[in-house]
Amino acid sequence: MALYNDTVMDHFLNPHNVGEIENPDGKGIYGSPVCGDMMMVTLSVDENEVITDAKFKTYGCGSAIASSSMATDMIKGMKVEEALEVSNEKIVEELGGLPAIKIHCSVLAEHAIKNAIYDYAQTHGKTYAGLEGYVPNTDPDEDDEEEGFEEEQFSDEKK
Ligand code: FES
């Protein structure tokens, strides 16, 4: 049964932008209310508000890995306000589709990016129309979040 198309499989098996940027300009962590999986995104942003680098780490499933790989590729080189418009629908579109039960995995990527941008905006005194009224929805268990992202626990697939 072909659950995933070739683009999704390629990003899942050879994900781009895996890791964590040291001293990031923005960092976001998001836990999916659907499955409990976690995603962390770190960003480098230059003085022109262009995202020069983006990396992710996840406990998520194959679809989350593929979505984050694609989404971080998409936002690199974008202005911050453009990156705020990268919705999960756009990520799924770029991937050529995901199975319906896996759509929430792309939401994980969208929200982790948005949380990272929110962090960037907060720490750099910026405001963006796309963030008005935005309340970052992060992992409720804040204390465990750093510990939760130990390298050796980051296998490609946990399910
Ligand atoms: Fe949890 Fe895909 S991210 S099932």
- As a whole number, the mean pLDDT across the chain is 89
Residue 66, ligand 1, Cβ within 6 A = no
The whole-number average pLDDT for the span 84-109 is 96
Alpha-carbon gap, residue 86 to 74, rounded angstroms: 8
Counting from 1 in the atom list of ligand 1, the atom nearest the Cα of 58 is 3
55: β partners: 42
Alpha-carbon gap, residue 12 to 26, rounded angstroms: 24
Contacts by residues 84-90 (CB-CB < 8 Å, ≥ 24 positions apart)? 84/114, 84/117, 84/128, 84/130, 84/131, 85/130, 86/110, 86/113
The whole-number average pLDDT for the span 128-138 is 85
Tell me the pLDDT band of 96, cut-offs 50, 70 and 90.
very high
Residue 32, ligand 1, Cβ within 6 A = yes
**How many Å lie between the centroid of ligand 1 and the Cα of residue 95?**
16
Tell me the pLDDT band of 151, cut-offs 50, 70 and 90.
very low
- β-pairing verdict for 51-58 and 38-45: antiparallel
The domain made up of 6-124 is a member of CATH 3.90.1010.10: yes
The predicted structure's pLDDT at residue 141: 52
The predicted structure's pLDDT at residue 148: 52
What's the pTM value of the predicted model, to 2 decimals?
Answer: 0.86
Token digits for 156? 């490609």
Q: Give, in degrees to the nearest 5, the angle at Cα 18 between 16 and 24.
A: 120
82 exposed, middle or buried (CB, 10 Å; 0-12, 13-18, 19+)?
Answer: middle
Domain ranges for the chain: 6-124
Counting from 1 in the atom list of ligand 1, the atom nearest the Cα of 108 is 3
**How many Å lie between the centroid of ligand 1 and the Cα of residue 35?**
6
Q: 39: part of which helix (H) or strand (E)? A: strand 38-45
Q: In this structure, what is the dihedral angle of CA atoms 126, 48, 113, 8, given to the nearest 10 degrees?
A: 160
Residue 42, ligand 1, Cβ within 6 A = no
Q: Which of 109-113, 126-130, 131-135 has the lowest mean pLDDT?
A: 131-135
Q: What is the pLDDT of residues 16-60, one digit of tens each?
A: 999 999 999 999 999 998 899 999 999 999 999 999 999 999 998
Residue 8, ligand 1, Cβ within 6 A = no
**How many Å lie between the centroid of ligand 1 and the Cα of residue 127?**
31
